[in-house]
Amino acid sequence: MTRRIWPTLKLGEIALIIMGQSPPGETYNTEGVGLPLINGPAEYGPVHPAPVQWTSMPTRLCEKGDILFCVRGNTTGRMNWADQEYCIGRGLAAIRGKKGASDTSFLRYLLEYLKPDLYSIAIAGGSTFPNINAIQLSNREAAIAPLPEQHAIAHILRAVQAARGARHHEVTLERERKAALMAHLFARGTRGEPTKQTPIGEMPASWEVQKLGGHVAIKGGKRLPKGASFADEQTIYPYIRVVDLANGTVKTNDLRFLTLETQRKIAQYIIRGTDVYISIAGTIGLVGTVPAELDGANLTENAARLVIRQPEHLSRDFLTAYLGGQSGQTQIGSLTAKTTQPKLALARIAQIQVSLPGLAEQQQIAGILKACDAKIAALERESALLDELFRALLEELMTGRVSLAGVGEHDG
């Protein structure tokens, strides 16, 4: 297929743009009187809005099937589909295709493609509060495919979007299944034995409640020395910050690195692959282990590392799962100092109580949960690939670099 040269048209020539107008505040209600009111993305759902208030004096209305487009604030450009008639407030515009000129589904994807540029228009002039008005929206020009090709473009992008939405949903479901499985395993174990009630909840009768401090040495990380900065390029000395931590393992896409001089000053504040980390400031309670390539990396002062004294009695992966589960997170929350800058003191980590089975059962439970993690990771990779495919197709189809002329019409 060869690239087509499409006519350049203004959005106002092919779309009806209805700017929202907020009704009088005294007409708002939560009893369902009048029409549902959508003021902005706070009431957006994954696809359709979820109204929380109504108005008995509606002003500007959208129709079922309209695009609800945010025109104010940092969420400018976010969209939802109207699944019914709504009153729209001043933070939104309703956009629909003009008969014979454009397909509304195609417009939804065109607006997605134009979103970065529309946001730039919204912040033009140095305003600290983004805002795009009807004239700016209407005057934005774009190359517009003929109507049959619009239908085909929308059909393809909708199919990819549905596939990635399904994958995102599967990831959510697998995370929920893992959470339910963790709750079951830590309460009932794997061997079908009777259970008992303890101060930290139900557990198998043979398990023991023990303080974490009896099994691990708790070591702090270290901030950069005064006046030191990160290296300008990647070195062999990675530095793990709290923003790099996630439940399970470290995010490696935006790591910072140290110079040799700086690393020498804090060389003893490292984390090993056999350790468990826990964030103690900023986002508190993130728990995980570092991948092999980060064994020996320097660790921020806002995280602690748990060094297991006797691996033959305590599994690293079991401990990671337990601390990331409901009982572990509840205890971490209760032990965190409630100040203007909450922090989990190293001494308090030692007080966390852990329900411990024998090593063999620890390893069995950890293996089951790692299999869950592997499935979630696989689904996330598929989801990421579909995200990339959607972005690539959006670029190719909206610029006409890939032409669908002659493919045939599809229902919009």
Q: In angstroms, rounded to a whole number, what is the distance separating the alpha carbons of residues 233 and 236? A: 10
Superfamily of domain 208-356: DNA methylase specificity domains (3.90.220.20)
Domain coordinates in residue numbering, the chain: 8-144, 147-192+359-412, 208-356
Query: 343 CB contacts (<8 Å, ≥6 apart)?
Result: 280, 281, 284, 336, 337
Residue 219 in 3-state DSSP? strand
Q: In angstroms, rounded to a whole number, what is the distance separating the alpha carbons of residues 76 and 178? A: 35
Q: Kind of pairing, strands 238-240 and 297-299? A: parallel
Residue indicated by tokens 């409630």: 338
β-bridge partners, 8: 143
Q: Kind of pairing, strands 86-88 and 35-38? A: parallel
Residue type, 72: R
pLDDT per residue, tens digit, the chain (412 aa), is: 455 689 999 999 999 999 999 999 999 999 999 999 999 999 999 999 999 999 999 999 999 999 999 999 999 999 999 999 999 999 999 999 999 999 999 999 999 999 999 999 998 866 678 999 999 999 999 999 999 999 999 999 999 999 999 999 999 999 999 999 999 999 999 999 999 999 999 999 999 999 999 999 999 999 999 999 899 999 999 999 999 999 999 999 999 999 999 999 999 999 999 999 999 999 999 999 999 999 999 999 999 999 999 999 999 999 999 999 999 999 999 999 988 899 999 999 999 999 999 999 999 999 999 999 999 999 999 999 999 999 999 999 999 887 776 554 444 4
Structural contact between residues 23 and 34, judged by C-beta atoms closer than 8 angstroms: no
Assign residue 201 a region: left if phi > 0, alpha if psi is -120 to 50, beta otherwise? left
Residue indicated by tokens 């690239």: 3
Buried b / exposed e along 259-276 (16+ C-beta atoms within 10 A): beebbeebeebbbeeebb
| Statement: the pTM of the whole predicted model exceeds 0.85 | no
Q: In angstroms, rounded to a whole number, what is the distance separating the alpha carbons of residues 298 and 15? A: 55
> What's residue 409's pLDDT?
46
Task: Establish whether domains 147-192+359-412 and 208-356 are of one fold.
Answer: no
Q: Kind of pairing, strands 15-19 and 54-55? A: unpaired
Q: In angstroms, rounded to a whole number, what is the distance separating the alpha carbons of residues 327 and 319? A: 12
Domain 8-144 architecture: Alpha-Beta Complex (3.90)
Under CATH, to which class is 147-192+359-412 assigned?
A: mainly alpha
Q: In angstroms, rounded to a whole number, what is the distance separating the alpha carbons of residues 70 and 76? A: 5
Q: In angstroms, rounded to a whole number, what is the distance separating the alpha carbons of residues 190 and 184? A: 9
